[in-house]
């Protein structure tokens, strides 16, 4: 079977779908989406059962279809914030997105198909069920929506060895097996490990039964500053702190101290200076809860889990058969080198505005639909690699602010951004009469120029 299309989109995760959705809404083109997985949604198909979006559903997904109902959470540690969809809801949502795209008659989805590569405009995909290889002729471009593919514990290969006698499970298994263990060792420093610890605490595991292996401590954004719609004013207050800190600070440490003093960034242990920053978020009550876990091991990365001890880069700790080792060590968002997004025959989806993966892909789909040169498209879309350390915050913010400035000078792009449901700030104009919001906008405008200048200067 030979297939012909305008765009071959490799990867039907959130990024590929958000791109396809915006492109199809604006241009009379045909797209084919392929994915190795047998359903759309990417890594969300393999997440742990108790996962939820970290950000509100209100600005996640694709531009043309709402996710959730913009309700406020009524109880628990995120009470008062906008609802965050769980894994099943997200997967069902992406199934509906594919149905919607297919209903246009201009989109096809090939599940369980591996993109093998290609030359020029001819690409090969293998049907993983039959083994058959098909040629896809691409009239316009191939879209690489897997360049930043997300790695999750259920499907990744841990970087350390595990003795057969040790009990070791991906975080996904917790609900099934937790009752059989006395003690838990959570391996990983990122948001997944946070979710694992909170799940254990919520299920009656006393903090002193949990050991947390944290090779690096992490800075978290306060969830209060990432709320859309009626809470956009407090989000603006948080956002204004970024350029002010960048403009005034004399080095990275000073910058993070200022962001912490503003309440923009938070750390679990006030006595330990985090070196990791991954643009993820927590609420204050979540942070307080996590502080109850005191057995934190900071001896670098795990090298092996043996029957009676854990070997780490900088030492060892004892373990035993009563301990479940919970794997939360997958990298999550891949940190890949930034490359130009719009190439001659290939588009490589990457991050442009910080902390907004689906907004970025939707915007890139819109930009691709415009009749402008690739040079202009790339000017509007300077990519940054996913951040990993505190050193990455400056370049990420500088590129975000420069991109936003570029969008504001292009009426069509500015109009798409202003009306997109994926834009965290879309309700801002309706809240400009609030004094604290006005003050925050003023502060942002005052500092963003000096901040770009400061961050552009050689270190």
- Neighbour count for residue 372 (Cβ, 10 Å): 16
Binding residue (CB under 6 A) for ligand FAD from 53, 210, 245, 452: 53
Contact yes or no for 201/289 (Cβ under 8 A):
yes
Q: How far is the CB of 146 from ligand FAD (least distance, A)?
A: 3
Binding residue (CB under 6 A) for ligand FAD from 15, 63, 185, 319: 15
**Beta strand ranges found along 11-129 (DSSP E):** 31-34, 107-110, 113-119, 122-127
Contact yes or no for 227/56 (Cβ under 8 A):
yes
Binding residue (CB under 6 A) for ligand FAD from 21, 27, 46, 54: 54
Q: How far is the CB of 255 from ligand FAD (least distance, A)?
A: 24
Nearer to ligand FAD, 244 or 392 (CB): 392
SS3 of residue 291 by DSSP: coil
Judged by CB under 6 A, does residue 146 bind ligand FAD? Answer: yes
Write the interaction track for ligand FAD spanning residues 148-167; mark x where CB under 6 A is met and - where it is not. Answer: xxx-x---------------
d(CA 44, CA 455): 35
The angle, 0 to 180 degrees and rounded to 10, between the axes of the packed helices 393-408 and 435-456 is: 110
Structure tokens that stand for 22 in this block: 């915006």
Helix, strand, coil tally for the chain in percent (to 5): 40, 25, 40
Binding residue (CB under 6 A) for ligand FAD from 23, 32, 142, 145: 145
Q: Please provide the size of the chain in residues.
A: 459
Q: Which stretch binds ligand FAD (CB under 6 A): 47-55, 164-172, 252-260, 284-292?
A: 47-55
Q: φ and ψ at 271, to 5 degrees?
A: -90, 0
Binding residue (CB under 6 A) for ligand FAD from 5, 8, 16, 221: 16
Judged by CB under 6 A, does residue 42 bind ligand FAD? Answer: yes
Structure tokens that stand for 147 in this block: 């360049």
Judged by CB under 6 A, does residue 386 bind ligand FAD? Answer: no
**Is the backbone of residue 369 left (phi > 0), alpha (psi -120 to 50) or beta?**
alpha
Q: How far is the CB of 208 from ligand FAD (least distance, A)?
A: 27
- Please give the C-alpha separations between residue 145 and each of 47, 128, 286, 328, 365, in angstroms, as whole numbers: 19, 19, 32, 24, 11
DSSP lists the bridge partners of residue 325 as 168, 185
Binding residue (CB under 6 A) for ligand FAD from 27, 37, 196, 413: 37
Listed residue (54, 11, 356) closest to 194, CA to CA:
54
d(CA 426, CA 232): 8
Q: How far is the CB of 101 from ligand FAD (least distance, A)?
A: 15
Nearer to ligand FAD, 332 or 394 (CB): 332
Which residue sits closest to ligand FAD, CB atoms considered?
Answer: 42
Q: Which of residues 354-373 bind ligand FAD (CB under 6 A)?
A: 357-358
- Please give the C-alpha separations between residue 229 and each of 25, 57, 165, 233, in angstroms, as whole numbers: 24, 12, 51, 9
Q: Which stretch binds ligand FAD (CB under 6 A): 11-19, 218-226, 302-310, 392-400?
A: 11-19
DSSP lists the bridge partners of residue 143 as 9, 347
Contact yes or no for 436/238 (Cβ under 8 A):
no
Binding residue (CB under 6 A) for ligand FAD from 9, 10, 279, 312: 10
Binding residue (CB under 6 A) for ligand FAD from 7, 21, 43, 347: 43
Q: How far is the CB of 225 from ligand FAD (least distance, A)?
A: 14
Judged by CB under 6 A, does residue 22 bind ligand FAD? Answer: no
Q: How far is the CB of 459 from ligand FAD (least distance, A)?
A: 29
Q: How far is the CB of 422 from ligand FAD (least distance, A)?
A: 9
Footprint of ligand FAD (CB under 6 A): 10-11, 13-16, 34-37, 42-43, 47, 51, 53-55, 60, 114-115, 145-146, 148-150, 152, 192, 332-333, 357-358
């Amino acid at each position: 079977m030979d297939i012909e299309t305008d765009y071959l989109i490799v990867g039907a995760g959130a990024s590929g779908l958000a791109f396809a959705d915006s492109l199809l809404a604006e241009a009379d083109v045909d797209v084919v989406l392929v994915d190795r997985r047998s359903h759309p949604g990417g890594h969300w198909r393999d997440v742990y059962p108790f996962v939820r979006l970290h950000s509100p559903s209100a600005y996640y997904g694709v531009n043309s279809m709402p996710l959730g109902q913009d309700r406020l959470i009524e109880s628990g540690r995120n009470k008062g914030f906008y609802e965050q969809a769980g894994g099943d809801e997200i997967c069902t949502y992406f199934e509906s997105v594919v149905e919607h795209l297919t209903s246009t008659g201009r989109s096809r989805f090939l599940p369980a198909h591996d993109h093998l590569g290609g030359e020029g405009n001819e690409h090969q995909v293998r049907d993983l069920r039959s083994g058959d290889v098909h040629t896809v002729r691409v009239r316009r471009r191939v879209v690489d929506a897997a360049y930043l593919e997300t790695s999750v514990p259920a499907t990744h290969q841990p970087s350390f060895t595990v003795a057969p006698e040790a009990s070791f499970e991906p975080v996904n298994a917790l609900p099934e097996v937790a009752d059989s263990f006395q003690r838990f060792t959570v391996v990983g420093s990122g948001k997944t490990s946070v979710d694992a610890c909170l799940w254990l605490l919520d299920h009656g595991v006393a903090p002193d039964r949990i050991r947390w292996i944290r090779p690096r401590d992490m800075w978290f954004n306060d969830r209060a500053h990432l709320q859309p719609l009626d809470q956009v004013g407090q989000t603006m207050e948080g956002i204004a702190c970024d350029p002010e800190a960048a403009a005034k600070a004399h080095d990275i440490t000073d910058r993070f101290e200022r962001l912490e003093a503003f309440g923009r960034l938070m750390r679990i242990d006030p006595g330990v200076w985090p070196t990791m920053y991954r643009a993820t978020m927590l609420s204050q009550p979540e942070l307080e809860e996590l502080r109850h876990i005191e057995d934190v091991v900071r001896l670098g990365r795990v090298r092996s889990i043996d029957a009676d001890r854990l070997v780490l880069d900088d030492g060892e700790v004892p373990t035993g058969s009563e301990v479940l080792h919970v794997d939360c060590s997958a990298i999550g968002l891949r940190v890949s080198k930034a490359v130009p997004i719009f190439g001659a025959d290939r588009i490589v989806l990457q991050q442009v505005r910080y902390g907004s993966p689906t907004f970025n892909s939707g915007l890139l789909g819109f930009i691709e639909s415009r009749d402008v040169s690739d040079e202009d498209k790339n000017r509007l879309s300077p990519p940054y690699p996913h951040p990993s350390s505190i050193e990455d915050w400056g370049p990420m913010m500088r590129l975000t602010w420069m991109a936003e400035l570029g969008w504001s000078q292009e009426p069509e792009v500015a109009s798409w951004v202003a009306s997109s449901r994926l834009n965290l700030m879309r309700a801002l104009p309706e809240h400009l009469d609030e004094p604290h919001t006005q003050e925050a906008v003023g502060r942002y405008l005052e500092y963003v120029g000096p901040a770009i200048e400061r961050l552009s200067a050689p270190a």
